A and B are shown apart, each in its own frame.
Chain A
Amino acid sequence: MKKRHITACLFLAPAIIVMLIFMYIPIVQNFYYSLFNWSIYKPGKTFVGLKYFIELFQDKVFWTCLRNNTLYALISLVGQLGVGLVVAAILEAKFMRKHSGFFRTVFFIPSVMSFMVVGLLWQLFFNPNVGPFNGILKAMGMNTANLNILGNPGTAIFGVIFASQWMYFGYMAMLLIIGIQKVPDELYEAAEIDGANALQRFLHITIPNIKEMILVDCIIIVVGSFKLFDEVFIMTNGGPGYASEVISTYLYRTAFRADMMGSASAMAVVLFVITFALSIFQMKISRSGEE
């Protein structure tokens, strides 16, 4: 080994060691653990093969989780990416130049806050006794006598999703603004000379030029929707019953409340497969965007 090789190793060693111990080894262990019946409090484990995976797909609650994760993803695509795209297009319009900075900052603020704060805030905001949400709806002429968004199994997950849209649409708008700013000005000028109006310029120049970025953002949203934990855990804790449970919160409940570690590891494997596949897809697209 040459001396410069040793130097390179020394520079890289801390990163490799920390990532190996606290990321990669646990993930490999997780695959192994999912094949055993084991407890955190008792020593020893018994091999059960793929039993937990089979059980998982027969478990009604797990399907509820998948449904809620998917629902969150679909609504977020509209509420974050859709709204974000419209907001980005408006803020980048010529006549907005003077004020766009202000709006950008305001819309972005919720996304820097901790979800602990956002979640508790919205939990209280939705609370029929202390929060103003029902009052606002009432003022708009709706019957709110029995309305308790987070307390009703049918609406709880939508309350959580609503709070997430509030938090993240400005973040998406910011990402898209960055993309739009990279589109060369000449394209817009040429289109303007040809008589294209603002909407046409948006549809025929902005969108095609940032389509890779839109695709990447789609995947970021979908991956995020499957990793979802804080939002649900804080606002509803998966309840009422299991109505708003998602994969990560169910995993937590199975592992650290029910002490069924093998079963929880199996869930983690499923989660890994979903998020990993989507992320590889994302990287492929970002690459093709660079070239």
Chain B
Amino acid sequence: MRKKNKKTIAIKGITYILLILLTLFIIIPLVWMMISGFKSNGDLFTNSFGLPKEWLFSNYILAWKVGIGRYLLNSVFVTFVSVALTVIISALAAFALTNNRLYFKGRNAVFIFILAGLMLAPQVSVVPLYKMLNRMHLYNTYWAMILPYTAFRIAFTVMLMRAYFLGLPASLDEAAYIDGCTSFGVFSKIIMPLCKPILASSALMSAMYCWNEFMMAMIFTSNDKIRTIPTGLMNLTGTLRTEWGTLIAGLAISALPIIIVFIIFQKQFVRGIAAGSVKG
């Protein structure tokens, strides 16, 4: 028995060491980023891994002024509008796909039409989309990001919401219909208030996507005034060239909001992933 105890302690020890090594693997680059943001160029070259000789808060201020501040605001705007549109449009669709009163023949076909969106990558449509946005005079506007983001998020969001709506008791809205409520009344007064958890999860998942999206933002916009963080940072690598410290400070500022949001809303994130089990 004692022998066995020793063995389990050894196994526990090894697993803990393994986890701690992985933790270091994750954390070292992040800590390096936070610290290097305070360094001067000379300091970075000679002393890449140590603490800064002199803590240059000015790097962070400069990074903010050079553009990060503006990009952050743009990101907040684009993300907010895209998420609001996605959630509203998807909730309406999911309601029509699950409500008994609104049943119609071909409803399954419509569901498949929406769900098929999950299988399409933006890369595949980026050339025609570029041409189309140009012709619609949307190229280089906020809408060139917002509308494609919304379109590419609807499939996933409808899937999440539909599954949740199906779990709600049908008797609830039946009672409201008998009381003379319209479908929209049932949707907005009965269903929506019951769905706050799934609304929060889908909003977070979409927000993460819009906040981080890079490819479409880069191809569909070129005006520095409307750039979001990912494309803005890309641009800064050109402007700052070899101002490494400032560039790294910019990275740190950009990474923080989403990390903080994740830590606060971890539960909603995990619910979203669990319900979707799909990347993105």
Contact = CB atoms under 8 A, between A and B. Distances in A.
* A and B part of one assembly: yes
Interface of A: 4-5, 7-8, 11-12, 14-16, 18-19, 21-23, 25-27, 29-30, 33, 40, 87, 90-91, 93, 95-96, 103, 105-110, 112-117, 120-122, 124-125, 129-132, 135-136, 166, 170-171, 174-175, 178, 198, 213, 216, 220, 223-224, 227, 229-230, 233-234, 247-248, 251-252, 255-256, 261, 264-265, 268-269, 271-272, 275-276, 279-280, 283, 286
A14 to B, nearest CB: 4
B96 A18 contact: no
Contacts of A110: 26, 30
Interface residues of B, number: 93
Contact of A121 (B97, B251, B259): B251
Given A22-B129, A121-B29, A248 B123 contact: yes
Given A23-B120, A117-B251, 19 more contacts: A7-B183, A7-B184, A12-B92, A18-B150, A19-B155, A27-B128, A29-B131, A93-B15, A112-B262, A114-B212, A114-B254, A116-B214, A116-B233, A116-B234, A120-B251, A131-B48, A178-B277, A230-B230, A248-B123
A268 B124 contact: yes
A97 to B, nearest CB: 13
A121 B33 contact: yes
27 contacts: A4-B101, A4-B183, A11-B96, A11-B183, A12-B97, A14-B88, A18-B154, A19-B155, A21-B147, A23-B151, A27-B124, A29-B125, A87-B22, A103-B19, A106-B27, A107-B23, A112-B259, A116-B231, A120-B251, A125-B29, A132-B48, A166-B26, A170-B26, A178-B277, A224-B279, A234-B234, A283-B119
B158 A124 contact: no
The B interface is mostly helix, strand or loop, or mixed, namely: helix
Given A30-B127, A114-B229, A121-B29, A275 B93 contact: no
A109 B244 contact: no
A161 B274 CA distance: 26
Contact of B118 (A109, A216, A279): A279
Nearest to A248: B123
Contacts of A33: 127-128
Nearest to A172: B279
B76 to A, nearest CB: 14
Contacts of A252: 126, 215, 219
B223 to A, nearest CB: 16
Contact of A30 (B12, B19, B125, B261): B125
Interface stretch (B57-65, B109-117, B167-175, B194-202): B109-117
B154 to A, nearest CB: 5
Contacts of A279: 118-119
B130 interface: yes
A154 B45 CA distance: 25
Given A90-B19, A109-B262, A252-B219, A27 B125 contact: yes
Contact of B274 (A115, A135, A178): A178
